[in-house]
Structure 1
Amino acid sequence: MEENICRKLFPIQHRPPALSKVALQGVLKDLLGTDIGISSVYEFCSFCDRNYHIHIDHDKFKHYLESKDLQLQDDQFKQNQQKPSFVLKILNPCYLEYYELTLARLKLLQYLHNCGIRCPKILPLHNGNIMKIVRLSDEKVKNQAESMELIAYILIFIEGQTIAKIHSNFDLCYRLGRFAAEIDIKLQAYSDETIKQANNIWSLQNFPACKYYLKYCSDEKRGFLENIFNQICRTYFNKHVKNLRTAIIHADFNHGNIIVKYNNETNNYDINGIIDFGLVNYSCVVFELAVLMAYTLLTVPHDRIRALGHLISGFHSVFPLTEVEYKSIYTLIILRLVQTSILTKYSSNLQPDNEFTMDSYEEKLEILKFLLSIPERDVYAVWDKIVGFSVGEDVYNYLESENIQI
């Protein structure tokens, strides 16, 4: 029974096969209804899908837009007029079962883009839809015994690099917090029943279900992670999650999904967008902040606690936190780091040929040990001064860190 439930929460199958340039041209023709010449293609690292960065022929692209009466008024379109650049997403086979959910998440992406949030614009397909099931025949896919059907769609490429490739300073952390809060403010007004019913293992609300996957961790790491896991489930989840505000959230504000671009005038990075809406769900709003903070730790080389304080301050300035949410943050960061450590280890067993599944695994464990080495009260003493929020003597001690073997 437990295994069946966990498989529903984590339905990911093996990634779609890698496609040649010729095969990709065939997929584009299927989506756009005409031949679009590819001048270059590069595949991004991906957890479970295939993401191809494609430059196409300018004249053919312009002709396609004109034939569909599409206007080049959008900033992202304007940036791509001279050198059209897109991301072709081909989703994991498991998403065929969640077609309506995938469509709902893309419509949410459209909503945020129309609200002025910096996120990818979806390129309309020849049939007027925004995504399509494409068939990959055995002629297109080498070593594939039979044809495959997969969901595909096209996004306008956002220029820049992910924050995973840079070091975040206090100012950038503050602006990251504001950016995440601005999105969550917009999502307060958004409702979708399909998304509300969505459920997956990466949602922090499903943290207790991670217990099933602990067995995939090595003996050395398992005891450490299991000790923290049991304490969080016994204390925090049994008492406090029910008191957190809920809404639709992005749910995957990790360092690989935030795009920044260096600004020579300010000598700092501008936030150019957020990508990957594949985990959007209905959950606790403060989970959004906790996920962002957990992964931002991977980009901050020093003074990490203060950096997180500035991130909270940015979020709180736009989306004011309640006392119970603020007091939960420290535990939720640890929770996310434990969750991602367990699930990435399981994913590496599922996809041993995909190095991306183990990205930053050891570093996450080191950050966990770092956080647990600092008393929670001391962390909040730093944050209180930066955020202007005081928990006084009433700090929630969810973790008995002195009992965790570091």
Structure 2
Amino acid sequence: MSVKPITPTLSPSQAAELVKNHYNLTPSELRYLPSFEDQNIYIAAVEGGEYVLKMINSEDSKDPILFELQTYAMNFLHENGLPTQTVLKTTTGHDMILKDIDCGDGLQKCLVRLLTYLPGIPISKAPLSPCLLYEVGQTAARVDNILREMEHPQLDKLQRDNFKWSLSNVPILEKYIHVLDGDPLQEVVMSVLHQYKATVANRHHSFRKCLIHGDLNDLNVLVQAHESRGYRVSGIIDFGDMNFGCYVYELAITIMYMMHLHPNPIEVAGPVLAGWESVFPLNAAERDCLFWLVLSRICQQLVLCLSISKCYPENKEYLLRLSKSSTLILHKLYATGKEQVEKVWFHTAAQFNDGK
């Protein structure tokens, strides 16, 4: 049985003291930011600059190499022109420190990093346009394309074969499907799992493998108003789900999350796909499996978040924030069917690229 992580609960005064002692900065403003198992605090410094103080939960803090890799990846992407956070080194020259932090249940050892703060708002708070969706798809592909050039002696650590959010591990949802007992949605989820095993699993060998961000959701893509183009992507944050997967997984995950932000979710994938393929065109197998991969990700989001919320009732609102829309989207896509949905997706993508 896995150990329940303990989330740090620094008070504003404790956070101010930590930043002063380890980064030589004096906060002029502090405010808490959303997080699930970690603690994130926005900090504006008297000396100038805006930052995010990120305290990692007690369990994840036992694996510092994973966070070293995340930090390295963010820096690598930033150096290659992507809008990612970078890490401010401590006064002793370290990227992160291990601190004894009072988490409400005695002292716990937690990793601490101070990240640069990126301008913008979550894409969930901005009006979606086809141009913005195109840029989201293009940016997602650029992230993965650049990550394939990254080298690090501990890179194998990101294989994460047992990572339950990987689209390679969709069949493990059967272990959690009981959370939908009595819900008519269970039948749809079981049907998607069957299609995954019958269709996607058999073509997995044809998917191109790569290192992916793995979680370009409604909160992890930041946008900023632009005078001539509405909103533009201004930041990619939270590399906690980074793992070795497949290019088409990143695309499916991105499409799935963007669908939650649009009144007509089926229309979303076309511009995202067009942006993606401007960098990295899909092969035949990836194209044929995209529909079922998107549905599989919706099933992961529904089932896993519902299961996790049973263990974390205090975070239920955050965990289930997408559940209602996920249910509606899954029903709509499943009822419309692969052929009709793909016709919209691929026709829209082709039109979009023809107009470029």
Q: TM-score, normalised by structure 1?
A: 0.81
Q: Any idea what the Cα deviations from partners look like across 1:170-199, whole Å, max 9, x if unmatched?
A: 111111111111111111212422223564
**Cα distance in 1 between the residues matched to 2:69 and 2:37:** 20
Deviation at 1:149, TM superposition (A): 0.7
Matches within 5 A, 1:267-346: 268-302=230-264, 304-346=265-307
- Contact residue 6 and residue 58 of structure 2 kept, 8 A: yes
Q: Any idea what the Cα deviations from partners look like across 1:134-178, whole Å, max 9, x if unmatched?
A: 1114xxx5x43x211101101110111111122312111111111
- Contact residue 19 and residue 26 of structure 2 kept, 8 A: no
Q: Any idea what the Cα deviations from partners look like across 1:75-123, whole Å, max 9, x if unmatched?
A: xxxxxx4xx2111111121212321122112111111111111111211
Q: Which has the larger radius of gyration?
A: 1
TM-aligned CA distance change 1:224 to 1:18, over 3 Å: farther
Deviation at 1:215, TM superposition (A): 2.2
Q: Does 1:219 align with 2:182?
A: yes
Aligned to 1:38: 27
Aligned to 1:230: 193
Q: 1:51 aligns with which of 17, 40, 46?
A: 40
TM-aligned CA distance change 1:221 to 1:130, over 3 Å: farther
**Cα distance in 1 between the residues matched to 2:282 and 2:251:** 10
TM-aligned CA distance change 1:15 to 1:322, over 3 Å: same
Matches within 5 A, 1:3-152: 7=2, 13-32=4-23, 34=24, 36-58=25-47, 81=48, 84-137=49-102, 143-144=104-105, 146-152=106-112
Q: Any idea what the Cα deviations from partners look like across 1:303-345, whole Å, max 9, x if unmatched?
A: x333311110110011111111111111111000000101111
Q: Any idea what the Cα deviations from partners look like across 1:251-288, whole Å, max 9, x if unmatched?
A: 1111110000112x225101101000011100111100
The DSSP-based 3-state class of the residue aligned with 1:325 is helix
The DSSP-based 3-state class of the residue aligned with 2:244 is strand
- Contact residue 260 and residue 273 of structure 1 kept, 8 A: yes
Q: 1:177 aligns with which of 132, 137, 143?
A: 137
The DSSP-based 3-state class of the residue aligned with 2:235 is strand
Aligned to 1:244: 207
TM-aligned CA distance change 1:237 to 1:92, over 3 Å: farther
Aligned to 1:207: 170
The DSSP-based 3-state class of the residue aligned with 2:231 is strand
Q: Any idea what the Cα deviations from partners look like across 1:350-383, whole Å, max 9, x if unmatched?
A: 1101121111111111111111121211122223
**Cα distance in 2 between the residues matched to 1:229 and 1:372:** 9
**Cα distance in 1 between the residues matched to 2:273 and 2:189:** 28
TM-aligned CA distance change 1:292 to 1:254, over 3 Å: same
- Contact residue 261 and residue 271 of structure 1 kept, 8 A: yes
- Contact residue 216 and residue 253 of structure 2 kept, 8 A: yes
Name the aligned partner's letter for residue 180 of structure 2: C
The DSSP-based 3-state class of the residue aligned with 2:260 is helix
Identity of aligned residues (%): 24
**Cα distance in 2 between the residues matched to 1:219 and 1:375:** 24
**Cα distance in 2 between the residues matched to 1:248 and 1:311:** 19
RMSD, aligned α-carbons: 2.0
TM-aligned CA distance change 1:21 to 1:204, over 3 Å: same
Name the aligned partner's letter for residue 52 of structure 2: V
Name the aligned partner's letter for residue 318 of structure 1: V
Q: Any idea what the Cα deviations from partners look like across 1:38-97, whole Å, max 9, x if unmatched?
A: 222111111221111111222xxxxxxxxxxxxxxxxxxxxxx4xx21111111212123
**Cα distance in 2 between the residues matched to 1:269 and 1:122:** 26
- Contact residue 18 and residue 50 of structure 1 kept, 8 A: yes
The DSSP-based 3-state class of the residue aligned with 2:171 is helix
- Contact residue 306 and residue 382 of structure 1 kept, 8 A: yes
**Cα distance in 2 between the residues matched to 1:209 and 1:257:** 25
Name the aligned partner's letter for residue 328 of structure 1: C
The DSSP-based 3-state class of the residue aligned with 2:59 is helix
The DSSP-based 3-state class of the residue aligned with 2:169 is helix
Aligned to 1:71: none
Residues 208-217 or 346-355, more deviating: 208-217
Name the aligned partner's letter for residue 103 of structure 1: E
**Cα distance in 2 between the residues matched to 1:15 and 1:236:** 39
TM-aligned CA distance change 1:267 to 1:388, over 3 Å: closer
**Cα distance in 2 between the residues matched to 1:29 and 1:294:** 41
Residues 100-109 or 210-219, more deviating: 210-219
Gaps of 5+ in 1: 59-80, 390-406
- Contact residue 215 and residue 222 of structure 1 kept, 8 A: no
TM-aligned CA distance change 1:183 to 1:258, over 3 Å: same
Aligned to 1:373: 335
Deviation at 1:24, TM superposition (A): 0.8
Aligned to 2:354: none
**Cα distance in 2 between the residues matched to 1:166 and 1:337:** 22
TM-aligned CA distance change 1:358 to 1:249, over 3 Å: same
**Cα distance in 2 between the residues matched to 1:159 and 1:153:** 19
TM-aligned CA distance change 1:335 to 1:116, over 3 Å: same
**Cα distance in 1 between the residues matched to 2:108 and 2:269:** 44
